A and B are shown apart, each in its own frame.
Chain A
Amino acid sequence: MGFAEWWQGLQRRLSRRSPHLQLGHRNLYIFLSRFGALWLFTAAALYLLGTQAKSNTSVLLAFLMLSLLGLSLFLTHLNLQGLELEVQPQQACCAGEQHPYWIQVRSSTWRPALGWQWLTRGARTQQLHHIEPGSHRLSLPWCGQRRGVQPPGRLLLCTTAPLGLFRCWTYWEPPEPLWVAPHRRPGPVQEHSIVNAPDGDLLDTLQPWRPEQGWQRVDWKAQARGRGWLSKSFTAADQNALWLAPTAHRPLEEALEHLCDRLWRELQQGRPTGLVLADGTALAPDTGSSHCQRCLKALAEWPPCH
């Protein structure tokens, strides 16, 4: 086993998977940074110089550097200790695009210079200027490379403040997954500008069913397919509405990428657009960000049997 595998395994073992994480002694790790090691070496050299050249200035400077090193150990740890992290509901996104992963951060004190990094290949540590006392919603840019419902992976949260002599860090694995729709790539899609769905079903948007809506609104077909209790909401027929479906002349993933791109563009232009997938899953034409999210989620998790 190489060092990289061993290191990844260690990171896996050290990371905590929970929707809420309060940083403390059990999940914070601290070690001398590279600069801290140089600092220690310089202090030792100055002490040696001071004792050999009988210079108390150098000895005092060495002691000051060592005492700052000792204090930094605690201050760097305290910079993360007590910080609370909590996952937030996430929005769907497209593969290959940066997208915010939302977390809630609660802090009782002002914390300078925090850094974070998704532990994926090629990722680099990003710096947050500081965290003010109170509760804040924090967006951490995340980029999915493939379609599907994906966990965001391990998050590294670290700090070297106040002097950069120690590096204190924690690993967190937020459990809230992200719906990653296909890459957006222009190409042919199958489109229908008709009121009825291509398979003859009624135009509807499926939403969670509530008893107040009555039994006649229940989408029994979806219920029979095991998709839970959904209700059909009927929309007024719009001659401008557009139904989109993946083209049959391309491989499935490529067809979905073209479909995603077209869907995105139409919805961005405010045109009511619906989605029809091969197993009969249909989302009635509509506009708005919530509709866009539903479409992207459908594209991300289709086929739903997975």
Chain B
Amino acid sequence: MPLNLRLLQLAQALLWGHLLISGQLQPVAALGIPVLLALSLWPQWVQARRPLLVLTLLVLAAWAVTAPLQERSSWLVSLGNLVWLMCGLKLLESNAPASRRRACLVLLIGIGLAGSLTQTLAVSLVQGACALCCVGSLLCLEAGPQPLKGLLRRCLVLVGVMLPVVVAAFLLLPRLPVLWSLPGGGGLGQSGLSSELRPGDIAQLVRQGGMAARVQFSGEPPPPQQRYWRVLVHRRFDGQGWSQGPPPALASNQPSPMGPMRERWLVEPSPLPWRPWGGEGLPSNPAQLKLSSTGGLWTGTPLSERQLYGVSPSSAGIAWRSQAPTAWDLELPQGSNPKLEALAQQWRAQSDDPAALVALARRWYESQGFGYSLEPGRIPGTAPLDAFLFERRLGFCEHYASSFSALMRAAGVPARVVVGYQGGSWKQPLASAPYLLLEQSDAHAWSEVWLPQRGWVDVDPTSWVVPERVRLSLAASLNASDRRRLTAGAAPGWLQGLASQWQGLDTRWQLWVMQFDSAQQRQLLPGWLTGDWQGVVALLGVTACLGGGLALMLWLERCRDTTDPARQALNRCLRELRALSLEPRPGESLQQLLRRARQQHPSLQATLDELLTLYNLHRFDSQPLPGPHLRGELRAVWRRLRAYGRRRTT
């Protein structure tokens, strides 16, 4: 099988592998592509049986039937699956150079589509390898059969000298504005915080794990106790669970942020239209994010790809904390949890000061022997909070936040539940600036109560029960069995260290490359370049890089030693002889030269004889020594000659 076809098959296999791992493949493509690939390994069979038409109809029909059933996939993902299947079919019918070239193009389109759906560093590297295979296949198609090593070298040189051009074009060329919005990769961001909160939801999410966000700070990061990253505010309570309630008002004329970015967020895909933040300051780009009256950052759409945004300090203070509560913040279905309501009324009888009520609640939680567990068990559908507070007394953060908020509402204090992340692990990789890593295991729920003098104040009842959860980490706050459950399947420590470094690289890749857009281009380029002259400068820059790349390539081609290995080894030996003032004379054979050398340096006789024998063996023997063996032997001779020359010099 020709090398060009093998390279295309390799590219297709790599594409399939990484798409399968990243969860982009629909069942038809996940099964169909390897089958098509396997068939392409037997081109004779394919040519003899000619199953292409049948296969094409079969694949198209299967895709057409199953694609609409994939509710979690966007049409772009379905289109991608079709293109990836087409790659397999095209590869199957590629028996002529022209059709292999076209298969290469279809593969490149497939790589581009895959790139628009998944953008991590690992995936980008795999996609780069696929593209390299395609270029290699094209080189091989033109230049004919050749050794893999030489082909790889040519391919790397070709792509390598073009990298500066690509970088120049990427940095300088003005970007086309977004004309229409394309959906991102469906299937991504399906895990994470949800728009409703039921007891047990966060405990389940914590066990799922996965990365949620990375955040870099312009100064020192906040201390662990203050690392509360709010995402969603639940105001509606139906007696069992919490939901968002009426959509909060969005700031229509948001004040401008002041100064440089304080928090730089890179968030993973999420099904929510809300983004995490610290709750202080303002989004750096008001067109990208809106601040709601409940203190949420709203984008309007679920996040299908990673997103980068910043938060800058604001001179206007924290406006959302002073937004007066509404009737929604006191809503409590009467009789849904009668014991809870009775307890709240009891507190109410003692004091009507909200701050005093909070203090009473804290004392009560601290005195009742509550436990903290990843698996608190199912609580009944009727009066669930009563069951938690007065019977089981075992729960996770959502149980505490939910029950405390309900208690406060029952006592007449406006309260709501905030869902987001708490804590995070501070990472200091070599390849990137330090950042705080938030994982799904850092998901947390806490409460906010309205204190008339202070506005909305964060209250975390979980920290009353298990202070280690906030002060240290989730793992430190769990009992041994829960901790084992949480860390089951986790990588060993050394691997986690490597993973951390890789995440650092990935962070840098995301921040520098994947999230680079027109706004960053404007920041990067000097002001005089971003106007009318940008196109001209970009063109000049790209042309200069192209010229430089071409010159470099030609120079590399000239420098390439095209002589055979034996002659190269002999040349090295002759250089050592020159250092001993033994220059070959015009018309002098190797034998004569070495004879002359022996006369002048008798101690070298054995070495010179070996050199002559080896070279002649390679040149004139009917079965010459294989290249690596010969190179090894001649290198040993060369080392002896060099050592002799050095000894004489010293």
Chain A residues proximal to chain B, CB less than 8 Å: 35, 38-39, 42, 45-68, 70-71, 74-75, 78, 109-110, 112-113, 129-130, 133, 160-164
**Measured between C-beta atoms, what is the minimum distance from A44 to chain B in Å?**
11
CA of A22 to CA of B515 in the docked complex: distance in angstroms?
51
Contact digits for B140-167, partner A, Cβ 8 Å, 1 yes 0 no: 0111100000000010001101100110
**The residue from B131, B143, B180 contacting A113, defined by CB atoms under 8 A apart:** B143
Contact B119 A68 (CB under 8 A): no
Decide if the interface of chain B is mainly helix, strand, loop or mixed.
helix
| Nearest neighbor of B155 in chain A, beta-carbon distance | A162
A56 B119 Cβ-Cβ under 8 A? yes
* Residue of chain B at shortest CB distance from A159: B142
* B360 touches A (CB below 8 Å): no
For B161, what are the chain A residues with a Cβ–Cβ distance below 8 Å?
Answer: 71
Could you tell me if B124 and A57 are in contact, using CB atoms closer than 8 angstroms?
Answer: yes
Interface of A is mostly: helix
A-B contact count (CB 8 A): 142
Do B178 and A162 touch (CB < 8 A)?
no
Residues of B within 8 A of A49 (CB): 112-113, 116, 182
- Cross-chain contact of B115 among A45, A58, A113, A133 (Cβ < 8 A): A58
The smallest C-beta distance from B306 to any residue of chain A, in angstroms, reads: 10
Residue B490 interfacial (CB < 8 Å): no
Name the residue on A nearest B162 (C-beta). A67
Task: Please choose the segment from B101-109, B415-423, B615-623 that sits at the chain A interface, where 4 or more of its residues have CB less than 8 A away.
Answer: B101-109
A64 to B169, CA, bound (A): 9
Name the distance in Å between B556's Cβ and chain A's nearest Cβ: 13
Q: Shortest distance in angstroms between A30's beta carbon and chain B's nearest beta carbon?
A: 15
B115 & A52 in contact (Cβ 8 Å cutoff): no
* In contact, B101 and A68 (Cβ under 8 angstroms): no
**Which residues of B from 527 to 549 have beta carbons under 8 Å from A?**
542, 546, 549
Q: What is the bound-complex CA distance between A38 and B178, given in angstroms? A: 24
Q: How many Å lie between the Cα of A264 and that of B236 in the bound state?
A: 106
Is B488 an interface residue when CB atoms closer than 8 A count as contact?
no
Contact across chains for B169 and A63 when beta carbons are under 8 A apart: yes
B546 nearest CB neighbor, chain A only? A70
Interface membership of B268, Cβ < 8 A: no
Given A53-B182, A64-B131, A67-B162, A46-B112 contact (CB < 8 Å): yes
Extra contacts besides A51-B176, A70-B546 (19): CB < 8 Å: A35-B102, A39-B105, A42-B109, A53-B184, A55-B112, A55-B115, A56-B515, A57-B112, A63-B165, A64-B162, A65-B108, A68-B162, A71-B162, A113-B144, A130-B144, A133-B562, A161-B142, A162-B142, A163-B135
B485 contacts partner chain A, Cβ-Cβ < 8 Å: no
Q: Name the one of A52, A60, A63 contacting B182, with C-beta atoms under 8 angstroms.
A: A52
Asked if residues B116 and A50 are in contact (CB atoms below 8 Å), the reply is yes
Give how many B residues have a beta carbon under 8 Å from the other chain's beta carbons: 58
- Do the beta carbons of A112 and B142 come within 8 Å of each other? yes
* Those of B94-139 within 8 Å (CB) of chain A: 98, 101-102, 105, 108-109, 111-117, 119, 124, 127, 131, 135, 138-139
Given the known inter-chain contacts A46-B108, A67-B546, A70-B546, please indicate yes or no for A164 contacting B101, CB distance below 8 A: yes
- The residue on B at minimum CB distance from A129 is B144
The list of the 8 closest CB pairs from A to B, nearest first, reads A57-B115, A55-B116, A67-B165, A112-B143, A53-B182, A53-B116, A46-B112, A58-B112
In the bound assembly, the distance between CA atoms of A70 and B305 in angstroms comes to 32
- Let me know if A67 and B169 touch, CB within 8 A: yes
A64 touches B76 (CB 8 A): no
Contact (Cβ within 8 A) B119 A55: yes
The CA of A130 and the CA of B180, in the complex, are separated in Å by 48
Q: Are B180 and A52 in contact (CB under 8 A)?
A: yes
| Cβ contacts under 8 Å, A59 to chain B | 170
Residues of the A chain whose Cβ atoms lie less than 8 Å from the Cβ of B178: 51-52, 54
Specify which chain A residues have a CB less than 8 angstroms from the CB of B112 in the assembled complex: 45-46, 49-50, 55, 57-58, 61-62
